């Protein structure tokens, strides 16, 4: 009985050691990627029910590290499931065109790179564009968390980027507001 218990404990220890050695580490910090926001950015877009939209609000990130980082995903904190479509990055400052805050489409341009897997070179900047699908009602998020990795470490960078997507278009044309950005009455 004692031998069986020792074998079981040894097996558990071996599994933990293997998991620690194999799984990528998490730094617990926000890492070398910096969100270049001055205060909180807020975007809002009214759209037709089911319409794809893009929002960026000039959500710019900079890699301050000495290695390229790989962007895995963006999580919009507070946004219900089924609205987030995906995200991509563009070089910043852009070579062609001007950055935008929202558009009534979601299409990755030629100079865009989709997540997961988009990289930001060492000391470079990138503009993050988020794709959403409008659903009935006003749907808001309070901030954006950017999940990325630098070699074996995984990070979560919090960005002060709030927003809303509202549908149907006519009902919310003048009343679609990100949280904390309501227009004065």
66-80, 91-105, 143-157: the lowest-pLDDT one: 91-105
User: Measuring CA to CA, how many Å separate 155 from each of 72, 88, 89, 151?
Assistant: 10, 18, 18, 11
Domain residues of the chain, as ranges? Answer: 26-172
Q: Residue 106 to residues 22, 42, 102: CA-CA distances in angstroms?
A: 37, 19, 10
Q: How many Å apart are CA 24 and CA 27, to the nearest integer? A: 10
Q: 143, 153, 161: which is closest to 65 by C-alpha?
A: 153
Structure tokens at 6: 């020792």
pLDDT given for residue 142 in this prediction: 94
Candidate from 18-27, 38-47, 52-61 with smallest mean pLDDT:
18-27
Q: What is the pLDDT of residues 120-151, one digit of tens each?
A: 999 999 999 999 999 999 999 999 999 999 98
pLDDT at 130: 95
Decide which of 2.60.40.10, 2.40.160.20, 1.10.3720.10, 3.30.420.40 is the CATH code for 26-172. 2.60.40.10
Tens digits of residue pLDDT in 6-40: 333 333 333 222 222 233 333 447 889 998 877 77
Q: Is the Cβ–Cβ distance between 101 and 43 less than 8 Å? A: yes
| Cβ neighbours around 36 below 10 Å, total | 14
């Amino acid at each position: 009985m004692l031998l069986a218990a020792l074998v079981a404990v040894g097996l558990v220890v071996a599994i933990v050691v293997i998991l620690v050695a194999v799984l990528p580490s998490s730094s617990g910090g926000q890492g070398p990627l910096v969100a270049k926001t001055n205060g909180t950015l807020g975007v809002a877009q009214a759209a037709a029910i089911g319409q794809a939209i893009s929002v960026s609000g000039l959500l710019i990130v900079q890699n301050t590290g000495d290695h390229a980082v790989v962007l895995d995903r963006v999580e919009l904190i507070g946004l219900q499931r089924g609205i987030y479509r995906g995200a991509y990055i563009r070089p910043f400052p852009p070579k062609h065109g001007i950055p935008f805050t929202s558009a009534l489409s979601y299409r990755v341009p030629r100079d865009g790179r989709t997540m997961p897997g988009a990289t930001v070179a060492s000391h470079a900047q990138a503009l993050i564009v988020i794709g959403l699908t409008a659903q009935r009602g006003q749907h808001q998020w309070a901030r954006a968390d950017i999940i990325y990795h630098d070699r074996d470490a995984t990070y979560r960078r919090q960005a002060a980027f709030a927003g809303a997507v509202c549908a149907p278009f006519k009902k919310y044309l003048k009343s679609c507001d990100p949280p904390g950005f309501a227009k004065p009455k």
